[in-house]
Amino acid sequence: MKEKIGKLGYRGIFTMIVIMAMMLLPFGKEYFLMACTLVWMAVQSITVIRGKESVRKKYHKLDLLILIFLVYEILHMICRMIWADEGKGIDYNRNILLISLALLYFLCAEAKFFSLIYLDVIVYAGLIAMGVLLYLYTCDMSVAFLLGGLTEDTAGLAAFLMLPGMVSVLLYCRCRNDMQKWFYGASAGISFFLLLINHNRVSLWLMVFFFMMVPICIRPTAELIKRDMQMFLLYALMLCNMSLLCNYTNLLLVDISYDLEQSVYLELVLAAGALFFFHYWDRMPEGFPLDRIVLRRLYRKYQFVVCIMFCFFVFMLLGSNGWSSLTGDKGIALLSNFAKPLGEEIAQSRSFLYVCTEEQGLLTLAGLLLILVSVIIRMRKNIGWDKPITTSLYLIVIFGIVQCFIWNLCVNVLPVYLILAVDAMNYKEEKVRFAGIKVRELKRLEDQLKQKNEEEGEKDEKKDNQKEKCV
């Protein structure tokens, strides 16, 4: 899957330009995206007219839906231009963004091609931005202009940091050489650290969910779970020690507070989880490569943990207003301290869908919801345990969609999520098929083989002895 850039063609190059520009441009992203999609469309039209390429023949309902949405958005923008109050300054950025995204969908859908280089580009671009952020938080706050106001919006920054973090974790789980492991591990580590400095509680929860979801969506081989757990423990280690970093050092220039008591309880929970995990890991059969062992029982336990976490999350959100009035012993106070800020954070945040409805009306909301549901359905048809890359893309996009319901997703990541969603829907990944067998049975078979070999050996020996006697 490591295609060279030359093989990507103009589509691949445009895709990479869009990803890099969206993640790194400090201002004018909407206009750049619009210009880029228009140029891309022109190039594609020329190649189709010249007969070098053909337009795809099969269209889906989703295409029709997005086409209607595109027309509606264009009409909406024209209407705003004509009937707008002259004295009132109108912001067309949202219109431009939605139109560009719809165009980008059609351009990417034509490609039906995906390369892991796109994910690498996300990591590299994210690394540059994260380097600037790291410098900003530890050395000099005056370089914030390089990120174009991204630091002013905690939720937007969290969404921005989560993307390279998630991609790095997934690439870490599937990379093969040690150098790549270090690279993706370091990249993921930096994004975790910045997420923790950003101190958006929802993003911290979402990352934990992500770690738990990886072995559920992707084939839960022992190797995958091991690497996922390595990343999770790195994240947890940072989370537990943030209180020490904030309270006892002057490393950070930003003022954030982590409760020391809560981090101690968290460490206890982690220690208990680690005990269970290592106890389970001891039962792993020896002598088999880890990437061939599928831990189905652990997979079911992961499902259980995710369910529990989801219920707990919903429970905390439902009681968000009541947590402050709750009094009792230390445990209840701890839970209240934990849940109250989380509920407040969610209550204060304005989701992407909310902002779109506020600016564009109910029709836009309905259109976006329909599109999101259709995208999820289309993606589900194309995933499976035998398609690890597509499933990884699906996982990232699902977390992007969830963020749409919580935060006002910034323009830095929206086009990137769209590109990944289109790839997850259309990528024809070669299926990796496996023959499965239980360990217990395998051992029995090995014993049978040994017995057979021994019996045959004995028979041969007997025959040889008889021959010798005859001779």
Q: Which is nearer to other proteins, 124 or 211 (CB)?
A: 124
- The amino acid occupying position 424 is A
Binding-site member from 60, 61, 296, 450 for other proteins (CB under 8 A): 296
Rounded Cα distance between 15 and 37, Å, is 10
Q: What angle do CA 364, 370, 376 make, to 5 degrees?
A: 135
CB of 239 to other proteins, least distance (A): 21
Phi, then psi, of 221 in degrees rounded to 5: -75, 160
Examine residue 6 and tell whether it contacts other proteins (CB under 8 A). Answer: no
Q: What single string gives the DSSP state of each residue in 100-135?
A: HHHHHHHHHHHH----HHHHHHHHHHHHHHHHHHHH
Rounded Cα distance between 392 and 114, Å, is 13
For other proteins, which stretch binds (CB under 8 A), given 69-77, 148-156, 196-204, 435-443?
Answer: 435-443
CB of 287 to other proteins, least distance (A): 10
Site string for other proteins, 139-178 (x = CB under 8 A): xx----------------------------------xxx-
Q: Which is nearer to other proteins, 435 or 470 (CB)?
A: 435
Query: Residue 144 has what DSSP assignment?
Result: G
Rounded Cα distance between 75 and 83, Å, is 12
For other proteins, which stretch binds (CB under 8 A), given 91-99, 387-395, 396-404, 444-452?
Answer: 444-452
Q: List 221's β-bridge partners, or say none.
A: 294
Site string for other proteins, 215-244 (x = CB under 8 A): ------x-----------------------
Element (H, E) at 210: helix 201-217
Report how far apart, in Å, the C-alpha atoms of 92 and of each of 34, 73, 149, 404 are: 12, 11, 18, 20
Nearest to 205 by CA among 323, 343, 322, 318: 343
Examine residue 285 and tell whether it contacts other proteins (CB under 8 A). Answer: yes
Which residue in the block uniquely carries the two structure tokens 């792993």?
284
Binding-site member from 53, 63, 120, 223 for other proteins (CB under 8 A): 120
Examine residue 124 and tell whether it contacts other proteins (CB under 8 A). Answer: yes
> Both tokens of residue 408?
């006002």
Q: Which is nearer to other proteins, 127 or 370 (CB)?
A: 127
Site string for other proteins, 368-397 (x = CB under 8 A): -----------------x------------
Which residue in the block uniquely carries the two structure tokens 């990352």?
207
Of 196-215, binders to other proteins (CB under 8 A) are none
Give the footprint of other proteins on this chain (CB under 8 A): 2, 120, 123-124, 127-128, 130-131, 134-135, 138-140, 175-177, 179-180, 182-183, 186-187, 190, 221, 251, 283-285, 288, 292-298, 385, 433-440, 442, 445-446, 448-449
